[in-house]
Structures are given as structure tokens and as C-alpha cells.
Amino acid sequence: MKEQLNNIKDSAQKELSNIKSIQELEDIRIKFLGKKGELTSVLRGMGALSAEERPVIGQLANEVRAFLENEIENAKMELVRRERSSALEKEVIDVTIPGKRKNLGKRHPLSMVMDEIKNIFIGMGYEIAEGPEIELDYYNFEALNIPQGHPARDTQDTFYINQNMLLRTQTSPVQIRIMEKSQPPIKIICPGRVYRSDAVDATHSPIFHQVEGLVVDKGVTMGDLVGTLEVFAKSIFGENTKIRLRPHHFPFTEPSAEVDVSCWTCGGKGCRVCKNEGWIEILGAGMVHPKVLKICGIDPEVYSGFAFGLGVERTAMGRFNIDDLRHLYENDVRFLKQF
């Protein structure tokens, strides 16, 4: 029996030295120490021993069990350690390898200027309004006091979906849509895309952007318009900027004006950018025509309002000193990176 026990010890030790997984370890534990295991079956035979032999063999059996338990535990720890270090080896990061540079995108200069404009007017208490780019002739022209055959239509030729539907040529139709469904006080801006069938050159594109503004309330005057535009021009082009209103005609405002800002390059002295005029035109504006108010269900005897329409491309070109509008649409990363 003594020999049997020693054999068990030897063969268990040998098997333990070759194991590769926790599962194999568990198999060995069951094989030697389990209920039907080899050690247990030896112990079962102890009843046949003499009274002198029994304690000797019993002690030896206990020693073998303790030894095996200990060996199994050690083997387990060794396995865990090996697994962990091989995982660490696999996951090792070589911090000396050059990284991959990620090209971060940026906001487009037009979006930047658009956001600046929005922020300036939000700061003055305006809300942002929106309207459709595919517009009815009624909103784009008719309700703005530009009936069929009116010469103002010629300067804003556009793309027609059908006789009544077109790509809007201006953001002004949003004025009508807003006034139709709300009563004063109204104080909104509408930034958006507009279309005209113009050939592309340094200052023209068939798709461009405007920001429309509209304020209607009791007692709104031309003075309010001028003050508002002054705040706007100084915020976007700098504190020293001046504005100038030139009489003009728009069918939906009366009186109307074209508004210039002092040249952002020379400050008004005259240079190449302002074609030696010292001034650059950036928007159209005026007092909302009583006819337009009436069409929208607002009483012109009680309320008055001002409106303006601003070219975003032109503003961006001034803000960033861009000399050709086409740069804004060519998506050349070398250009776009500069802002």
C-alpha cells in the first residue's frame, strides 16, 4: 500500500508538470483526489490493514493528500501567472512607433460668418426663422409687391419648377410667411440659401446665402433700422466701421436704401478692394411697404416695420479678405484650412 501511495504521488507530480490549462488541472484533481479518485480508493482498502499498519499508512496517505493539494494549488498559480504575462506581451504598445495623424475638420468660413451674424442678432433679441428653398411665386414675388411683368423680376431670374413654383431668389419671402401667421411684435432673422440663374464669376454664383431681417411693432422707425445696422457692421467688421445709406428702390420697402460699409481694407481712403470708392455695398434695406403689411393682415395704420437682406458671401469675403467668391465653393482643403 505504501508503494501504491508513493506511485500516486509520483505519477500525479509527473502529470502536473505537463499541464497547459485550468481544465487539465481540474481533470488531474478529480483523477487523484476526487470521490472515485486513486487516493480515495487506496484509503478504502485501509480496513484490511492490521492495527499497527493502519496509523502508519494513514499518516502517509494524509501526507500524500496534503502534498497533492499543495502541488495543484501551485500549478494553478503558475498557470494564471503565465496566462497574464502572455496577455501582457500580446498587448504591448510600442510608444516609439510614429502615430497616425488625424486630419481634423473645420467649420467652413461661410458657416463661421453665418454663426457670427446669427449671434449678433440673437444678442439683440432676434429669433431665427426658416422658410422653404423651393418657394411659391406668390411668396417670392407677388406678395412682396413684385407682380407678373414687374421689371424687378428680371434682375432675379431663377430656376422654375413650374409656373407657380421656383427656387427662391431671396430670403425675403420668409417675411411674408412669418407676418401671415403672427401679429407684431415680430423680430426675426432668416439665414438661408437662395438661387439665381447667374453665371459663375469672382462675385457671382447661382447658389448663395442671405440673412433676412424683419422687425414689426408699434412706432418702429428708420432710425431703429440705422442703429441696428450700425451695431451689426461694427460687430462684424470692427469698431471703426461706418455705414452709409443710399436711396434705392425695392418694391417691398418704402423708403428703401442700399447700405454700404466703410472699406474693411483701407478704412475708407480708397483701395483696390473697394475700387477706390472707400465703401462696399453689403445689403438692401428699408421700411416695410404698407401694401405688404396689409397683404399679411397687419394694419399699417397701427404698425410699422423695417427689413433688410444681407449677402453672406460678400460679408465673408470682407471678414476674411477673400478676393474671389469661387474659393468658397471649390472645397480646396488648402484654402479652407486657413480660417
Q: What does the binding site for ligand DAH look like in residue numbers (CB under 6 A)?
A: 170, 172, 212, 250, 253, 284-286, 307-309
Tell me how far, at minimum, the Cβ of 307 lies from ligand DAH, in Å: 3
Tell me how far, at minimum, the Cβ of 330 lies from ligand DAH, in Å: 24
- Across 23-143, the runs of DSSP E, i.e. the strands, are 127-128, 134-136
Q: Cα 183 from chain centroid?
A: 35
Tell me how far, at minimum, the Cβ of 260 lies from ligand DAH, in Å: 14
Q: What single-letter DSSP state applies at residue 204?
A: B
Tell me how far, at minimum, the Cβ of 328 lies from ligand DAH, in Å: 18
Nearer to ligand DAH, 34 or 255 (CB): 255
Closest to 82 (Cα-Cα) out of 2, 22, 39, 31: 22
Nearer to ligand DAH, 208 or 237 (CB): 208
Closest chain position to ligand DAH (CB): 309
Nearer to ligand DAH, 192 or 284 (CB): 284
Let me know how many helices (H) and strands (E) the chain has, helices first: 11, 10
- Do residues 243 and 251 make contact, with C-beta atoms less than 8 angstroms apart? no
Nearer to ligand DAH, 184 or 286 (CB): 286
Q: What single-letter DSSP state applies at residue 318?
A: H
Name 261's bridge partners. 243, 280
- Do residues 310 and 318 make contact, with C-beta atoms less than 8 angstroms apart? no
CA–CA dist 179, 304 (Å, integer): 12
HSE on the CB side for 190, CA within 13 Å? 24
Nearer to ligand DAH, 121 or 250 (CB): 250
Nearer to ligand DAH, 170 or 262 (CB): 170
CA–CA dist 246, 255 (Å, integer): 11
Nearer to ligand DAH, 72 or 176 (CB): 176
C-alpha cell at 298: 397687419
CA–CA dist 8, 62 (Å, integer): 13
DSSP strand pairing (207-217 vs 243-248): unpaired
Tell me how far, at minimum, the Cβ of 272 lies from ligand DAH, in Å: 25
C-alpha cell at 240: 471703426
What are the backbone dihedrals phi and psi of residue 20, each rounded to the nearest 5 degrees, phi first? -125, -10
Nearer to ligand DAH, 38 or 212 (CB): 212
Return all residues near 266 (Cβ < 8 A) that are at least 6 apart: 273, 274, 278
Tell me how far, at minimum, the Cβ of 314 lies from ligand DAH, in Å: 12
Tell me how far, at minimum, the Cβ of 214 lies from ligand DAH, in Å: 7
Nearer to ligand DAH, 241 or 256 (CB): 256
Would you list the DSSP string of 135-180? EEHHHHTGGGT--TT-GGGGGG---EEETTEEE-SSSTHHHHHHHH
